[in-house]
Chains A and B, each alone.
Chain A
Amino acid sequence: MGRPPGHAGAFVDIDDRMAAALIDLGRHGEALEMRWVVRQTREAGTHEDATPIRLDLWLTEQAQNACACCIRPTRTVNCSTMSSVSPAATSTLLTAFTSSAKGRGASRCSSRAPKRVRHVGGRQRAVHRGVLPKPTPEHTHPGELAGVLSNVVFIRVVSLGPAAQVPFVGKGSRPPSIKKWKYMRDIAEITELARIARVDTLKSLWASQSGHPGSSLSALDVMITLYFGGYLRVRPEEPNWPERDIFLLSQGHAAPGYYACLALRGFLPRRELETLRQFGSRLEGHVKRGITPGVESSAGSLGQGLGFGVGAALSIRRKNEDRRVFVMMSDGEQQEGSTWESVMFAGSHQLRNLTAFVDVNRNQINGPTHEIMPIMDDLPGKYAAFGWDTHEIDGHDIRQIGAALDDSLTSDRPTMIISHTVTGKGVPYMEGDYHWHHGKITNDLFLEAMGALDESVSPSPDESWVPGATPTPSWLA
């Protein structure tokens, strides 16, 4: 069932007790793609050593009978640590969910239209979409919540503090069957998906004999984490789903890696990656809007994606929607002046629904970035100076990526995640070498790369050299 709590800020799967206490996970199926972000508030004088947590609930679309506008979880409470857990603390948290459920009830809600939750200033006004179970206000016993939250299919607990503790004690509940939401994978699974994406990327670059392996591979772990870690809420079968989150590949040349990610996520067949850069293909050399499912904006001329993201984030905020914008930039791109126009705007306007990455692989076309523009080595200081929440991570450590992203979800300002990566990560002869920003992969180099990625292929080109030859993991299919 659930796994023991992990480290701070990582994906912490709920443990049996938590699950048992909270939910009856009998349901499977398509989860409503919305998050209930429960913000942490300090209750003065109590639980000082408490660990703030965030609970993400994925709810089924089949949730019955209640109108979402009646459910208003408004706050978290500090949850005491495992060693001093008390039923009171447990029930306080759960009551925080359910007390907000006091309301008029579905029968008195005037609107029958699908609705969804809005996040406004840290509190949730469940105004739209999402039919949720009708709660009753008296719940104090965790087990009694089973009926209320019976349509929750997955809960992710994220610890926002140094000690990741999961503080609930169940009483009288039975172990649930936890079925993970399909696109909320854990670290081991994401790592394997990234490996497969690397294999597909290299196969497509071998097929095209043209393209950008260096950045495709350095940015890949972040992109896979976004698409498979539950951060980017999208619908491959409906790429223009109005409630989707937005991902912008501002460093449009990392397209091959991005396409591999999109293919794994289901936007296009993995086999189609073979057509990269060919005439008539849906996969151009740099990402193009309108031709590749899942691509929001064309890119390729650096210094523009962040501005587009600012516009999208502004629009989303104006419409009071619970949607996020993620922008992936390169380190060379920081040399474009227009980047900083967007940075200062986002900082001035506190666009909290905007999270950007800089893929710091330390290379650009004509050489290492620190030789060409050394003053830009200290990016965190610069972004912080412009009013952004800034993180610095190892961009190949899924756990760190997740932790930084988790933080960004509750920030009140735009977030910059400086992601230290390696050009051509995963392929030893490429790693760290600026010549592999772009380049042709010969048959021999291809075989060497496959070896490094633990991918067995035939010694000469055949079906096994085609993207998609690696079977999609069963847990994803």
Chain B
Amino acid sequence: MYQIGENVALRTAFGPALLSLAQEDPRIMVVTADLGGSVNLGEFKQAFPDRYINCGVAEADMISICAGLASEGAIPFAVTFGSFLGRAVDHIRQGIGHNKLKVNIVGSHGGISNGMDGPSAHAIEDVGIMRSMPNFTIVAPSCANQVENAIRASVSQSAPVDLRSSPVYLRLYREPLPVFTSATEEFQIGRAIKRSEGSDVTLLAYGPHVGFCMDWLAKLQGVASIDFLEVHTVQPLDEDAIMASVAKTGRVVTVEDHFIRGGLASAVAELLVSRRPAPLRAVALRDYARSGPYFELRDSIGLGVDAVSAAIEDVLTLT
């Protein structure tokens, strides 16, 4: 696996991780809308040329082809950027969701991680879209060392959803990020991971912001005592872990590289209101971003440490 501190992008870890699974499970296939190279699938393609299909710049067809493959016993991974899945929503809904077929959809370059390409390539509503449809499990690893575990879990029998027969949306990101989890850390779909214990504010994050918040933790702890949970599975949420934390803190801050409506903030708000209402502040996008290097963009559009710190301060005033 990868060394702690090494800079590895999630999308770079994806290809070799899938290849490793494919070597054990002959059902694994890839259908990509011309973006296989972007998730490091070159080796996979070489090793299994008949299990790798580039369907061209045709995302809707990609999804329908995956449905057809799945009906014949394959486990297809549909690979494209998260920003390009919008055009295939009907195909996802009808062909996979309504048909109840097992297809894993990989939306790479999530959030604004494809910074310099600009908003047309930013996936800021993908989690919201997938959350709005029945039957989909949504997983966003935060660290390269989680990717293989996430992939393996996405085709396994596991509580709470049997993913051997149920589709998964896997969100990956473009930029290299420092590895901060160990390769042996347990990764269970649907189980949040406690990153720090605290008592004042429940901090929930997924994707690269988990690592960022770990980096910023010292500064954030200066504002309040942070009970920090990595919520890599946005759907279904680990409701018990979240509510246990909220029972302690009574306040929630969510952090995500996603539009404010539809993603984690919305999911947690739904949960809180139905279980134990608590004030919530969301660190998320309020609008389309613009072109720019990822980290610079992150910090200037409300996804940086200042935004998280401000959200924590704000939620403290609400109680």
Contact = CB atoms under 8 A, between A and B. Distances in A.
B11 interface: no
A299 B74 CA distance: 21
Given A315-B72, A341-B56, A289 B65 contact: no
B270 to A, nearest CB: 28
B94 A311 contact: no
Interface stretch (A230-238, A290-298, A412-420, A462-470): A290-298
B61 to A, nearest CB: 4
Interface string A327-367: 00000000001100110110010000000000000000000
Given A304-B94, A307-B60, A341-B58, A314 B65 contact: yes
Main secondary structure of the interface of B (DSSP, over half): helix
Given A308-B67, A341-B61, A345-B58, A314 B95 contact: no
B90 interface: yes
A392 B99 CA distance: 32
B99 A312 contact: no
B72 A297 contact: no
Given A307-B91, A310-B68, A289 B100 contact: yes
In this complex, which of A296, A297, A304, A309 has the most chain B Cβ atoms within 10 angstroms of its Cβ? A304
A319 B100 CA distance: 23
Contact of A310 (B51, B65, B76, B100): B65
Contacts of A307: 60-61, 63-65, 67-68, 91, 95
A298 B69 contact: no
A312 B67 CA distance: 8
A315 B68 contact: yes
B56 A345 contact: yes
A298 B53 contact: no
In this complex, which of B56, B98, B100 has the most chain A Cβ atoms within 10 angstroms of its Cβ? B98
A338 B67 CA distance: 14
Contacts of A314: 53, 65, 68-69
A342 B61 contact: yes
Main secondary structure of the interface of A (DSSP, over half): helix
A290 B72 contact: no
A342 B64 CA distance: 9
A311 B68 contact: yes
A303 interface: yes
B60 A338 contact: yes
B301 interface: no
B71 interface: yes
Contacts, number: 101
A451 B192 CA distance: 67
A263 interface: no
A338 B91 contact: yes
B307 interface: no
A297 B95 contact: yes
A477 to B, nearest CB: 32
B240 interface: no
A461 B308 CA distance: 71
Interface string B218-257: 0000000000000000000000000000000000000000
Contacts of B71: 296-297, 308, 311-312
Interface residues of A, number: 32
B95 A290 contact: no
Interface string B40-58: 0000000000110101101
Nearest to A325: B68
A303 B90 CA distance: 10
A305 B64 CA distance: 7
A56 to B, nearest CB: 25
A318 interface: yes
A111 interface: no
Interface in B58-104: 58, 60-61, 63-74, 76, 90-91, 94-95, 98-100
A43 to B, nearest CB: 35
A344 B54 CA distance: 13
A311 B72 contact: yes
Contacts of B98: 288-289, 298
27 contacts: A297-B71, A298-B94, A298-B98, A298-B99, A304-B94, A307-B63, A307-B67, A308-B71, A311-B64, A311-B67, A311-B71, A312-B68, A312-B69, A312-B71, A312-B72, A314-B68, A315-B68, A315-B69, A315-B73, A316-B72, A319-B72, A341-B55, A341-B58, A341-B61, A344-B58, A345-B65, A348-B56
Interface of A: 288-290, 296-301, 303-316, 318-319, 337-338, 341-342, 344-345, 348
Interface of B: 31, 50-51, 53, 55-56, 58, 60-61, 63-74, 76, 90-91, 94-95, 98-100
Given A311-B76, A315-B74, 12 more contacts: A289-B98, A299-B94, A304-B94, A309-B68, A310-B68, A311-B71, A312-B69, A315-B72, A341-B56, A341-B60, A344-B58, A345-B61
Which 6 pairs show the lowest CB-CB distances between chains A and B? A311-B68, A307-B64, A341-B61, A341-B58, A315-B72, A311-B65
